Amino acid sequence: MEYTTYNISVEEAGRITLELFGIHGKAFPLPGYIDFNFRIKVDDGEGYILKISPPDANPEYLDFQQKLLQYTEKTNADLISPRVVSDAEGNPLAYYTDTSGNRRMVRLLSWIPGRIWSNVNPQNDDLRLSLGRQCGKLTRALQGFDHPHAHREFEWDIARSLWTVAHLDLFDERERKILTGFQKAFEKAQPAYSQLRKSVVHNDANDFNLVVSEDLVRPTVRAAIDYGDAIRTQIINDLAIACAYAIMGHNAPLEAALPVVKGYHATFPLKEKELEHLYTTIAMRLVISVTQSAINKQKEPDNAYLLVSEKPGWEVLKKWYAVHADFAHYSFRQACGFIPHPDEAAFKKWASQNNFSLSDLFPTVGKCAAHPLDLSVSSPWLGQQVDFDDLALFQFKIDRVQQQHPEKIISGGYLEPRTVYTTTKYGRIGNNGPENRTIHLGTDFWLPAGTAVNALFDGEVIASVNDAGDKEYGGLIILKHSIENFEFFTLYGHLTIASVEKNKVGQQLLKGDRIGNLGPPKENGNWSPHLHFQIMLSMLGYTVDYPGVGYFEQVPVWTSICPDPNLLFKLPALEPRPKTSNDKLIDFRTNHLGKSLSLHFEVPIKMVRGAGQYLIDENGRKYLDTVNNVAHVGHEHPEVVRAGQRQMALLNTNSRYLHDNINELTQILLETLPPELSVLHFVNSGSEANELAIRMVRAATGERDIIASEVGYHGNTNTTVDISSYKFDGKGGQGAPEHTHIFPLPDVFRGKYRGQDTGHRYAEEVQNLIDAVREKGRGVGALIVEPIISCGGQIELPEGFLSQAYTYVRAAGGLCISDEVQVGCGRVGKSFWGFQLHGVTPDIVTIGKPLGNGHPLAAVACTREVADRFANGMEYFNTFGGNPVSCAIGTEVLRIVKREKLQEHALYIGELLKSGLRSLARDFPIIGDVRGQGLFLGFELVDSEMNPLADRADYLANRMKDHGILMSTDGPDRNVLKIKPPLVFNQDNVEKLLFYLEKVFQEDFMVRC
């Protein structure tokens, strides 16, 4: 096209609109492939789109488009599509002579408000579902419509896509291999493909032809525009085109396509035969796209619009090539509500009519019964990952179970979510970040190395290999079985090398023939000896390493491809264990637990295991935990667990008996504190610690008045709630009690006094409260404050505030309490305790949850003077405080902090993360402030007027969860994201956190604040 000659200026477009249609408006250019397009903005409506054809445009082609739009408007009132606007004489097609004397055809269509698909971020599953629904609705609306031009030859018609074969010379060898593979598959499918349903379809649901709603949180596709590529062709081609563009830019394109397919089928039901061709037709649309781009690069190198899809087209085409056609087909069937594998019902029927015994599989064992072994992510028997990786220990445990059940074979594992597959081969980068295969697709039979394995039925050896490597199959044999009108396969993993050497591909085995023997660890992939037995209805192109574990999201498809082996044996012990749905768990909580007990996230997660800086849900998905400071040295740290187990097996009683553990914990804890704080009392929680601290204050000073920070939180007991502004000033609270006095939150970013040189001003607020108490004829008991105020939004105290406030309080006869429940034990990095950041020594320090790493253990440290005054004759006794088990755990936690240098680690990693967050803040001004010390950080979201953005913070936390990262909001306005992870949080975790934070900050809802 000669753009210079035929181009239309925006001024000319405005004149055309006025002259032909009588509409005053301002024109703005839009991209176009053939037509010259303009948006016409008007003062009193949504406006229009003006489409001016090149001089050589075919009138029949334009008449086709106009009649198509008029047909959809007339027959489908619920479908949003462009409306044809007639010219001043009532014609749907108008004519205009340009400045070069060329007669041009002109159309005016109604403007559909919204955003173009290419400008929408994120493009999630719900959006793609709405895309499918909209495309299906449009196809349904076009049923019965026809036009002579709909039958034209068109290069973008997938049905005619084999024209691309003639242009293979434009590509390199690797690219040609991909293109040729798809072209040959499409050519082979022609006899069946040509018989599929046809109709006129839109045929071009690409990034620039879809209008999306303005809703930034839950956007939906409103309409398809630009009907220039509409044609009569196979209906499945229309869905293929929608999928081809919707999956661009996604790491897992098949998973991205499924919501589109599901939505399309919901509004225009597809036939099973059509789904057989969807994988290839998606590919062929991409083949057309990259081929056309290669041609256009030579013809019109300056036309950027023609080249816009080339790079993403190749990226997705290469990923699509890696997806097996059969697996895609079964996935499409599942998305449409069909049985994923067409032979599943036939196999199950055959299996139900035949009986097999474990003794047929293991003839030398002489056992027909099974004892179930639970190796799922939530299995208490499994223990920790370190236990599983210790082959000797794991084998010992297996042997113990076998001794307890000598007449049975230890078995199980089908569809178990497991986290024992730890090598990189079991993972990928999915559409929401890293994910691992966790769902076990076969049944394991745990028997000694050397145990004979026989064929259950006649079969042909199609694989006999040594699948060497850690956590691989080792000796692997796969047999093919032909039964009646279908075939299936059985897999035997973890055999000896000799087993695979004696079986040759193509060899026929009869029922009862010896397949091989179970291998020892060095031959079976470094596992404890067992047989992995799996049934497959399709080989999916695998010849060596067939997946024995699948991704959770693909479970419905995998269960159809790989049916339960127990269908053969029918053993009650191997029946799937019942599972309570999360909806039922939520319903039960709602009915029987207090309504004040809240859950994280819009869609709550059921967590069943912890490991280091990760929490793991019931399906084996790992979440990076950035908020759980309770697991101070890491979730379920092996040494902490062992310390508790060892002591629990010996004794657990109260502190009225002599025991070394309480002395050891006291000694190691005192070593971290200033010498003035020389007396400890042990309790069970931070709330108890602060409750006890207030009792000590009253005993030592005789006063009841407490000074505390605005939005401070100190516990859930009556006394601690009474000194917690976060509670009594919040929802359901009744304000400060008589003896509680609150000074303004010392927030230098958005507080009463702003800027770094404000410490003295906040300290004066404390003095004002002291004066007010004195005016009432009372004295001050204590000041209690966290060195970094957690619920206030990770607020760092301004320089000089704490030392000056302590001076004022002590001058008034009061005590100073440092609440270290959240910030203590090395978390702040520069010092072991938060108060040490400010160069002060409190009279009382309260220590909480981190000390026990999740075990209920806390402590109060105080001066000798305070301790002596508290010992006024009223005995303090806490049944569980200081018990031997808790003390053993606390001692080990503190030793780990020192041994693993976690305080130094918190400083280094915290500074790294803080630097990264500040770098993000430069790119995204929505991050108004980054603050905190060590691994006790927070960043606050505000608009340009410093107004809090709680909705953005909540959105961010929920979106990060989608990416496998747990975050939480805090602060009086719930606009602060807090970061206080287990101290084992590492540099890789920082990089992942920053990567996905940046990704979410780029999303529409975050950008348009």
Find the mean pLDDT for residues 484-492.
94
Say how far apart CA 666 and CA 680 lie, in whole Å: 7
d(CA 420, CA 793): 38
Of 870, 850, 825, 841, the closest CA to residue 696 belongs to: 870
What percent of the chain is predicted at pLDDT more than 90?
84
Same domain for 802 and 779: yes
Q: Tell me what pLDDT residue 470 has.
A: 87
| Helix (H) or strand (E) run with residue 952 in it | helix 950-962
| Angle formed at CA 484 by CA 478 and CA 488, multiple of 5 degrees | 20
Q: The tokens 């991050």 sit on which residue?
A: 927
Structural tokens at position 845: 């320090």
Residue 752 lies in a domain: yes
Whether residue 568 is found in the same domain as residue 671 = no
Q: Average pLDDT for residues 94-102, to the nearest whole number?
A: 89
CB 874 within 8 A of CB 717: no
Residue 621 has pLDDT above 80, yes or no: yes
Q: How many CA atoms lie within 13 A of 838 on its CB side?
A: 23
Which among 399, 413, 373, 353 is positioned nearest to 533, based on CA atoms?
Answer: 413
Tell me if 209 sits within 8 A of 135, measured CB to CB. no
Distance CA 111, CA 961 (A): 37
Q: Are 250 and 122 in contact (CB under 8 A)?
A: no
- Give residue 404's identity as a one-letter amino acid code: Q
**Is 625 inside any structural domain?**
no
pLDDT band at 422 (very low <50, low <70, confident <90, very high): low
User: What is the reported pLDDT for 602?
Assistant: 80
* Same domain for 263 and 125: yes
Q: Of the candidates 110, 131, 150, which is a domain's last residue?
A: 110
Where in the sequence is the domain holding 889, given as residue range(s)?
A: 646-899
Token representation of residue 282: 């998606």
- The rounded distance, in Å, linking the Cα atoms of 525 and 522 is 7
Task: Write down which residue in 574, 604, 625 finishes a domain.
Answer: 574
Same-domain status, 362 and 331: no
Bridging pattern class, strands 844-847 and 815-819: parallel
Same domain, 768 and 881: yes
Tell me whether residue 580 is in a domain.
no
User: pLDDT-derived band of residue 3, with 50, 70 and 90 as boundaries?
Assistant: very low
Stretch 600-607: mean pLDDT: 85
As a whole number of angstroms, the distance between CA 986 and CA 969 comes to 22
Would you give the distance in Å from CA 363 to the centre of its chain? 46
Higher pLDDT, 689 or 391: 689
Does residue 826 share a domain with residue 681? yes
- pLDDT band, residue 545 (cuts 50/70/90): confident
CA dihedral 127, 130, 135, 140 (to 10 degrees): 180
Residue 866 φ/ψ, nearest 5 degrees: -65, -40
Pair 560, 418 in one domain: yes
Whole-number mean pLDDT of the chain? 93
How high is the pLDDT of residue 815?
Answer: 98
Q: Count CA within 13 A, CB hemisphere, residue 275.
A: 28
DSSP state at residue 74: H
- 412 and 464 part of one domain: yes
Tally of domains within the chain: 5
Number of C-beta neighbours around residue 900 at 10 A: 16
How far CA 859 is from CA of 688, 691, 724, 772, 892, in Å, comes to 9, 11, 19, 32, 15
- C-alpha span between 608 and 619 (Å, rounded): 9
Please state the φ and ψ torsions of residue 976, each to the nearest 5 degrees.
Answer: -110, 130
Same domain, 760 and 786: yes
The pairing of beta strand 514-517 with beta strand 439-440 = unpaired
Strand partners, 480: 460, 489
Confirm if 627 and 968 have CB atoms less than 8 A apart.
yes
Element (H, E) at 191: helix 190-193
Task: Please tell me which of 31-35, 99-103, 548-552 the model is most confident about, judged by mean pLDDT.
Answer: 548-552
Residue 579 lies in a domain: no
Residue 56: per-residue pLDDT: 87
Tell me the pairing of strands 815-819 and 780-785: parallel
Kindly report which listed range (54-63, 248-257, 263-272) carries the lowest average pLDDT score: 54-63
Percent of the chain predicted with pLDDT > 70? 98
DSSP letter, residue 269: P
Q: Token pair for residue 439?
A: 């769902």
DSSP state of 668: H
What are the pLDDT digits (tens) for 798-814?
999 999 999 999 999 99
What does the alpha-carbon distance between residue 809 and residue 843 come to, in Å, rounded to a whole number? 11
Say if 623 falls within a structural domain: no
* DSSP 8-class letter at 836: G
So what's the pLDDT on residue 306?
Answer: 59
| Digit-coded pLDDT (tens) for 678-717 | 999 999 999 999 999 999 999 999 999 999 999 999 999 9
**Residues 53-63: what's their mean pLDDT?**
91
CB 614 within 8 A of CB 625: yes
Closest CA to 332 of 413, 423, 240, 401: 240
Structure tokens at 407: 């007449």
What residue has token string 């026929």? 508
Three-state DSSP class for residue 523: coil
- At 213-229, the pLDDT tens digits run 999 999 999 999 989 89
Torsion sign across C-alpha atoms 912, 918, 921, 926:
positive
Closest to 601 measured CA to CA, from 199, 972, 967: 967
Q: Is the pLDDT of residue 357 over 80?
A: yes
Cis (ω within 30 of 0) for the bond into 638?
A: no
Structure tokens at 533: 């037995």
Q: Residue count of the chain, please give it.
A: 1009
DSSP state of 417: B
Mean pLDDT along residues 551-555: 95
β-bridge partners, 705: 780
**461 beta partners:** 479
Tell me if 850 sits within 8 A of 635, measured CB to CB.
no
pLDDT at 880 over 70: yes
> Is pLDDT above 60 for 514?
yes
Residue 483 has pLDDT above 60, yes or no: yes
Structure-model confidence comparison of residues 303 and 74, the more confident one: 74
Q: Which of 546, 544, 545 is nearest to 536 (CA)?
A: 546
Q: What is the structure's pLDDT at 1?
A: 41
pLDDT tens digit string along 959-1000?
A: 999 999 999 999 999 999 999 999 999 999 999 999 999 999
Question: Crossing angle for the helix pair 950-962 and 987-1001, nearest 10 degrees?
Answer: 120
Count the Cβ atoms, other than its own, within 10 Å of residue 884.
21
Q: Which residues contact 973 (CB under 8 A, 6 or more apart)?
A: 948, 950
**SS in 3 state form for 680-717?**
EEEECCHHHHHHHHHHHHHHHHCCCEEEEECCCCCCCC
Mean pLDDT, rounded, for 490-511: 96
Does residue 484 have a pLDDT over 90?
no
Question: Which position has the higher pLDDT, 593 or 489?
Answer: 489
Please tell me whether residues 149 and 99 are part of one structural domain.
no
Residues 6+ apart with CB under 8 A from 52: 8, 13, 16, 35, 36, 37, 38, 96, 104, 105, 106
Flag whether 610 is in a domain. Answer: no
At residue 5, does pLDDT exceed 60?
no
pLDDT value for 309: 58
Q: What is the mean pLDDT of residues 42-60?
A: 92
Is residue 314 included in any domain, yes or no?
A: yes
Nearest to 59 by CA among 20, 103, 89, 17: 103
CB atoms within 10 A of CB 437: 21
Q: Poorest-confidence range of 407-421, 546-560, 646-660, 673-687?
A: 646-660
Secondary-structure percent of the chain, ordered helix, strand, coil, rounded to 5:
40, 20, 40
Sign of CA dihedral 597, 599, 600, 602: negative
Whole-structure pTM value: 0.93
Residues 441-454 have a mean pLDDT of 97
Q: Are residues 833 and 923 in the same domain?
A: no
Average pLDDT over residues 3-19: 84
Q: Which residues of 721-732 are buried (b: 16+ CB within 10 A; e: fewer)?
A: bbbbbbbbbeee
Distance of CA 570 to the CA centre of its chain: 37
pLDDT tens per residue, range 922-968: 999 999 999 999 999 999 999 999 999 999 999 999 999 999 999 99
Q: Report yes or no on 548 lying in a domain.
A: yes
The rounded distance, in Å, linking the Cα atoms of 395 and 445 is 13
Report which residue type is found at 153: E
Distance CA 555, CA 578 (A): 16
Task: Give the residue, 275 or 44, on which the prediction is more confident.
Answer: 275
H/E stretch holding 344? helix 344-352
> For position 42, what pLDDT does the model report?
94
Q: Which residue has the higher pLDDT, 298 or 782?
A: 782
Residue 16 confidence (pLDDT) above 50: yes
Q: What is the pLDDT of residue 291?
A: 95
* H helices, E strands: number in the chain: 34, 42
- The CATH number given to whatever domain includes residue 660 is 3.40.640.10
Q: Of the candidates 335, 370, 404, which is a domain's last residue?
A: 335
Any idea what the CATH number is for the domain that residue 917 is in? 3.90.1150.10
Q: Where are the alpha helices (DSSP H) in 599-648?
A: 638-648
Tell me which amino acid residue 440 is: H
- Could you tell me if 651 and 787 lie in one domain? yes
Torsion sign across C-alpha atoms 556, 562, 567, 573? negative
Q: Kindly state the average pLDDT of the residues 519-548.
A: 95
Tokens of 911: 């500074």
Distance linking the first and last C-alpha atoms of the chain: 42
Query: What CATH number does the domain containing 542 carry?
Result: 2.70.70.10
Q: What is the CATH classification number for the domain harbouring 56?
A: 3.30.200.20
Residue 207: which CATH number? Answer: 3.90.1200.10
